[in-house]
Chain A
Amino acid sequence: MLLVGRGALPFPCCLLISLRDLGLQRHITYCRAAIHPLSGRAARRAPAGRNTTTAAAVAAPEQSKHQTKQNKGGQQAAKTAWEAIVGIECHIQLNTRTKAFCSCSNQFGGQPNAHVCPVCLAHPGALPVLNQETVHKGMLASLALNCSIAHTSKFDRKQYFYPDLPKGYQISQYDIPLGSSGSLELMFKDGTKRQVSIERAHLEEDAGKLVHGGSDQLSGSTHSLVDYNRAGVPLLEVVSGPDLRSGREAAAYAAELHRIMSLVGVIDVHAQDAVMRCDVNVSVRKKGEEQLRTRVEVKNMNSLSAIQKAVEYEMERQVELIESGRESEIVQETRLFDEDKGHTFSMRKKEGLADYRYFPEPDLPLLQIEENIISEVKDSLPEMPSAARQRLLQLKLPIADVLTLTDDMETATYLSAVLAAGAPPKQAANWVMGDLLGYCKEHKAHIGDLDLTPQLLAEMITLIESGTISGKIGKQILPDLIKGKVSPGSLEKWVKTEGLAQISDEATIAAMIDEVLASKPQELEQYRGGKTKLQGFFVGLVMKESQGRVNPAIMNKILMQRLQATKS
């Protein structure tokens, strides 16, 4: 043991730097540095990549099926008397082109260790230089979460030893985060809202990726493998206040966070690997109680269902322990969630507060951001989901529809453009939610990429509203419009040339009806004899005759007149 601390914080840290400069870097990095009781990184890394938070995974969370499998007594108790106190820390991987502190590509997959350099491998003397896009995206994300941006913030070293961390420390932000004091609004299916406070949003770098490490390692194997492509990739860590009260709320929070990050374009929504990794802190209390009990941390989840089920399981477990007089068994610890088994298990107990010996990063200057830059970024923000939901609700759209339309903000943006082009809200919402989202789901397409522009859809809806074409014809021509057969502005002309315009002329329709009735004297006789349900039969024939183009209301009116006329 070489290092002897002397109390003052900077001392062992400085010594560590001098050891690096003495050329011990290789030993620290690759060889004997293996285990530090504070880190537990193997377990943290091992599950990465098994489950991914993709756009598809971020649907509105449903009540977990898992709940029904739980012990009924505990379930009852959890539902009636207890509530969870949940705070979430999410690590969001920013989609910059380069890493946070070096010019290596921010890209994984492909060859391991393809994107490495002396900076991200911590070779002696290599100095970090902050990527401006990391700062920009960090600001975008923080401002989208209503955070205040620090005019002057700084970077710090968070120290622990683990082979996926070449420097022996992670560059992070400790006491002065980039963003602080923000909030995010959730809305549920019953229309209730919840404000969730965002305590902080700070920039940091990711570690490398351990392969064949941890629990899935073949027994007898003596090595782990490390890929440093991810080492130094920029992350934004977003820390919520302890404001969530259930698994459902926790999942809704993660979904909203993912939604906002996608909207402001700071994450790669097409990434194979998870772009958001979440840790949840869970404790329970009786409703109305002020006092807080021991909280447990469940680490490293990257799907909404895992977050929801982990919180529900923890709540269940803690309530049962308390109610059976074993509250002392709830200890401050880090647990992991096993998605297959649907339970959490202890990874390590916490012995006091983890001591990462933070100190200011001497290799990076202070990060100073002028007010005008902050305002510029703020002004560039698009409409946030909460505002879009509010706006759509004011158009009298039902809550369920509003939630569907704002689940992916690309859909909300598309709908807004359809509305701006003059289509009435209810009809526009129905076409977007039904036919368009159905098509996108079936063809794995993005609504924003369709050749059917919002303007063209609005044109079509307007033609239906004005009676120029029937709704049936609308459905019929939609595939052609999606394929880009018609250019915006020319739809009315096109439907007329194609002979698709609705027939609303009463004389024309009456003539068609008379022809149909004349061709079916037997059925007409039966109708006269009281078999009035034959009306549908005649409607079908007229529709067929006109290839679906007659105006149904006018046709029904005239048909009834004719049928009743013959009857009397």
Chain B
Amino acid sequence: MAEISVTDQEVEDWQHQIEDIVGWFDQLQAVDVSGVEPAAIADGKEQGSLRPDVPRAYENRDAIMESVPNKERSYVKVPKIM
């Protein structure tokens, strides 16, 4: 699991939100699904269209890279691994 920095205020706010979500799952779990085929994907019946293999450079690449908090040359800089 990720180590995520949160403030005490965030912990307090999110605790309720997460409890709500968990509660919602409890409601879902209560549904009787016996005899229903497991669906691989929610949208199972729909065949999505495939994308043609044509390269297209993303026009806002510079903006994306600018939003990276730490960089070195054009690399993304992350904490040392292992």
Chain A residues at the B interface, C-beta cutoff of 8 Å: 1-4, 6, 8, 11, 14-15, 18, 24, 26-28, 30-36, 41-43, 96-98, 102-106, 111-118, 121, 123, 129-135, 154, 161-163, 168, 176, 210-211, 213-214, 217, 221-228, 360-362, 364-366, 368
State the CA gap A6–B14 with chains docked (Å): 17
Shortest C-beta distance, A351 to chain B (Å), equals 16
Nearest-CB residue, chain B, relative to A43: B82
Q: Please tell me if the beta carbons of A123 and B2 are within 8 angstroms of each other in the complex.
A: no
Can you list 20 A-B contacts with CB-CB less than 8 angstroms, sorted by A residue number? Answer: A2-B18, A11-B25, A31-B5, A32-B5, A35-B81, A98-B51, A98-B53, A98-B55, A117-B58, A118-B64, A123-B64, A131-B51, A132-B51, A163-B79, A211-B75, A223-B72, A223-B79, A225-B75, A225-B76, A365-B46
Q: Are A161 and B53 in contact (CB under 8 A)?
A: no
Check: B27 CB closer than 8 A to any chain A CB. Answer: no
Which residues of chain B are within 8 angstroms of A221 by Cβ–Cβ distance? 80
- Kindly report which residue of chain A lies nearest to residue B38, judged by CB atoms: A360
Residue B35, interface by CB 8 Å: no
Chain A residues within an 8 Å CB radius of B52: 132-133
Question: Contacts A6-B25, A222-B80, A365-B47 known; A131 to B53 CB distance under 8 Å?
Answer: yes
Q: Which 6 A-B pairs have the closest CB atoms?
A: A117-B58, A133-B53, A225-B75, A365-B48, A132-B50, A103-B56
One of A30, A116, A214 near B78 (C-beta < 8 A): A30
Interface size on B, residues (CB 8 A): 48
Q: Are A225 and B2 in contact (CB under 8 A)?
A: no
Contact call B51/A222, Cβ cutoff below 8 A: no
Q: Is the CB of A8 within 8 A of B29?
A: yes
Instruction: List B contacts of A210 (CB < 8 A).
Output: 81
For A98, what are the chain B residues with a Cβ–Cβ distance below 8 Å?
Answer: 51, 53-56
CB of B50 within 8 A of CB of A130, answer yes
Nearest chain B CB to A319 CB, angstrom units: 31
**What distance in Å separates the Cβ of A147 from its nearest Cβ neighbour in chain B?**
20
Q: Is the CB of A35 within 8 A of B82?
A: yes
Judge whether B74 is part of the interface by a CB distance below 8 angstroms.
Answer: yes
Nearest CB on A from B71, distance (A):
9
Shortest Cβ distance from B65 into A: residue:
A113
Give CA–CA (A161, B74) in the complex, Å: 22
Partner of B4, one of A15, A28, A115, A211: A28
At the interface, yes or no: B41 with Cβ under 8 Å from chain A? yes
Please state if A112 and B53 are interface contacts (CB–CB under 8 Å).
Answer: no
Contact: B81 with A8, CB < 8 Å? Answer: no
B59 to chain A, nearest CB (A): 9
Nearest to A11 among chain B residues (CB) is B25
Give the chain B neighbours of A115 by CB distance below 8 A: 57
* Interface pair B18/A15, CB less than 8 Å apart: yes
Chain B positions 24 through 50: 1 when the CB is less than 8 Å from some CB of chain A, otherwise 0: 010001000000000011111011101
Distance of A481 Cα from B52 Cα, bound (Å): 42
For B4, the chain A residues whose CB sits under 8 A away are 2, 24, 27-28, 32
Tell me the complex Cα distance, A36–B81, Å: 10
Q: Tell me if A117 and B64 are in contact (CB < 8 A).
A: yes
B76 and A226 contact, CB distance less than 8 A: yes
Q: Among B11, B44, B61, B80, which residue has its beta carbon within 8 angstroms of that of A224?
A: B80
Closest chain-B Cβ to A524's Cβ sits at a distance in Å of: 77
Name which residue of chain A comes closest to B53, CB basis. A133
* Chain A residues, CB < 8 A from B50: 129-132, 135
Is the pair B75, A360 in contact by a Cβ cutoff of 8 Å?
no
Contact, CB under 8 Å: A111 / B53: no
B76 touches A168 (CB 8 A): no
- Using CB atoms, name the residue of chain B closest to A365: B48
Tell me whether B51 and A34 are in contact (CB under 8 A): no
Check if A132 sits within 8 Å of B48, measured CB to CB: no
Would B78 and A362 count as touching, CB distance under 8 A?
Answer: no
Q: A360-B41, A362-B41 are in contact. Are A168 and B2 (CB under 8 A)?
A: yes
B47's nearest neighbour on chain A, judged by CB, is A368
Q: Of B18, B43, B55, B61, which one neighbours A365 at CB under 8 angstroms?
A: B43
The answer on a CB contact under 8 Å between A104 and B75 is no
